[in-house]
Amino acid sequence: MRDRTRTFSLRTAVALSCALALVTPGRIDSQTKITVDKNKYTPAQDVQVGQEAAAQVRKELPLLKDELVDEWVDTVGARLVTAIPPEFAHKEFRYTFDVVNQKEINAFALPGGPMFLNRGMIEAAKTEAEVAGVMAHEISHVALRHGTAQATKAEKFQIGAILGQIAGAAVGGTLGGIIGQGSQIGLGTYFLKFGRAAESQADILGAQMLARAGYNPREMANMFKTIEAEGGSRGPEFMSSHPNPGNRFNAINKEADALKVQGNYSTGDFTRVHSRLTGMSPALTAEQIAANNKKGTAPSPTASGRTVRVEPPASQARTYQPARFLRVSVPANWQQQQTSDVVTYAPEGGYTADSSGRTSFTHGLQVGVAQGGTGDLQRDTTALLQGFARSNPGLRSSGSRREAIGGRNGLTTILSNTSDATGQSESIAVSTTHLKDGNVLFLVGVAPSSERPVYEDAFSRVRQTLQIRD
Ligand SMILES: [Zn+2]
């Protein structure tokens, strides 16, 4: 069993590995040079936000805690950490590796170093180097600080909104915000869903690290093929958090051509680990994990498919300031939750987990900023709605109307959707207005269709009283 002492000694070992990386050979000239994105946060902030999120993850996901398996991933992980190029090795970072007893093929890493690998991913791999490939990719996101770099780009919401609030992602005791499945209407998360540029960088740096650690980088490309082939109705979660930047396999193989694999490393334990895993009782599905969490002491989301009874919006208002430039007055019985890239105002019971453990937001309002760019509110709004429609395939628009939002020209679009969580029809009001920098401030009001009149009234008051000072 993995106890505290062991975890501590692992961290020490990895920290030493970071120091050793400073004396390992420098880059080979033909390999691709990586330029890091602008980041206004400190590495210490990466560590803080990552640790808070990791604590939440450890509460919600069943860790496998098998000594043989843990030692093996720790050894592979430590080996890869020594292969981080010195310019990307942050002394504050502590890379840790936990195996989650979950069936779906997935892995994710949090800022500052905590990584979680699903048992299903190891079982699907054919070689140690394939697992190392996914781990090298994840370590690259951490080392290049992609999570906080994304937060830097979305400057409108300060990191204060993210730091210390990450636990809010666990509202309703869900797996949602944390592991990148996001709320149904949300836009994903800063830390776990990456853009194409970040994906390319993690593929390239991952390949370089693999070669330095003695693994063939082409095995990473092979593993991505296996993951893509996995499919499923929504596709593998890994691929939605790590989208193919285009031509992924060729790009990795091309980089591999420029690299010299330094030795031929293997712990030699993959076969033993693999047969141990496949011989255990089956890993839990996301659905089973969500059901177990509901039984636990975590704040329990309402059972899937049940009619949710939620107190109607209070007539008194309460004002929040989710960002420097914004004041929002919402019904006094709604609580503010700042999770990743949106701020949600919802009454108690306003979130529900569906059968696969994804969190749906069923009552309340979300506020966020999306990238604008066309200068035309209708066109920017259409792009935003298309984004929502990708994660909510049942979304149908019943038309837009011009309506002032916080005293500015705005658009309100009414949509209908079938809630994944309750199976019931819901009414969604999306209001948009331009900020001075051309980006789009949006408000998304969600309520069951049967309760639409009372919620529409509440949403309308929020739109009228919104104060924007950008
Ligand atoms: Zn990625």
How many angstroms separate the alpha carbon of residue 144 from the centre of ligand 1? 11
Span from the CA of 189 to the centroid of ligand 1 (angstroms): 13
Q: Are 38 and 111 in contact (CB under 8 A)?
A: no
Identify the pLDDT of residue 339: 59
Amino acid 83: pLDDT: 97
Structure tokens at 164: 């210390």
In this predicted structure, which of 121-135, 216-230, 295-309 has the lowest mean pLDDT? 295-309
What per-residue confidence (pLDDT) applies to 309? Answer: 66
- CA–CA separation, 69 vs 275, rounded Å? 11
User: Under a CB-based contact definition with an 8 Å cutoff, are residues 98 and 63 in contact?
Assistant: yes
Ligand 1 centroid–CA 228 distance in Å is: 13
Overall average pLDDT of the 201-220 stretch: 97
Flag whether pLDDT at 178 surpasses 60. no
Query: Between 24 and 205, whose confidence is greater?
Result: 205
Q: What is the pLDDT of residue 316?
A: 86
Burial bucket for residue 398 (CB in 10 Å: 0-12, 13-18, 19+) = exposed
Q: Which of 76-90, 231-245, 381-395, 433-447 has the highest mean pLDDT?
A: 76-90
Distance 210 CA to ligand 1 centre (A): 15
The Å distance, Cα 195 to ligand 1 centre, comes to: 8
Residue 200 CA to ligand 1 centre (angstroms): 8
pLDDT band at residue 176 under the 50/70/90 scheme? very low
How much is the average pLDDT of 438-452? Answer: 84
Model confidence at 180: pLDDT above 50 = no
For residue 141, the CA-to-ligand 1 centroid distance in Å is 7
For residue 241, how far is its CA from the centre of ligand 1 (angstroms)? 7
The pLDDT of residue 341 is 59
Q: Provide the pLDDT for residue 398.
A: 82
- CB atoms under 10 Å from CB of 229, counted, come to 10
Contact 242, 180 (CB under 8 A): no
Structure tokens at 157: 């919401």
pLDDT at 224 over 80: yes
Choose the most confident range, by mean pLDDT, from 15-19, 335-339, 444-448: 444-448
Average pLDDT of the residues of the chain: 78
With contact defined as beta carbons under 8 Å apart, do 366 and 343 qualify?
A: yes
* Cα of 435 from ligand 1 centre, angstroms: 31
Q: State pLDDT tens for residues 348-404.
A: 877 765 555 555 667 888 887 777 778 899 888 888 777 777 666 677 888 888 989
- 57 CA → ligand 1 middle, Å: 19
CA 130 / ligand 1 centre spacing (Å): 15
Tokens of 140: 């690259």
Mean pLDDT for 171-197 is: 45
Model confidence at 201: pLDDT above 80? yes
| Rounded Cα gap, residues 375 and 232, in angstroms | 38
Residue 107 Cα to ligand 1 midpoint, Å, equals 10
Alpha-carbon distances, residue 351 vs 83, 135, 221, 384, 451 (angstroms): 43, 33, 38, 22, 15
Nearest to 337 by CA among 196, 157, 122: 157
246 CA to centre of ligand 1 in angstroms = 13
Q: How far is the CA of 111 from the centre of ligand 1 (A)?
A: 13
Position 424 scores a pLDDT of: 76
**Separation CA 114–CA 10 (nearest Å):** 12
Look at residue 282 in the predicted model and tell me its pLDDT: 94
CB atoms within 10 A of CB 23: 8
pLDDT over threshold 80, residue 333: yes
Q: How far is the CA of 77 from the centre of ligand 1 (A)?
A: 17
According to DSSP, residue 247 is labeled S
The span from the CA of 117 to the CA of 115, in Å, is: 7
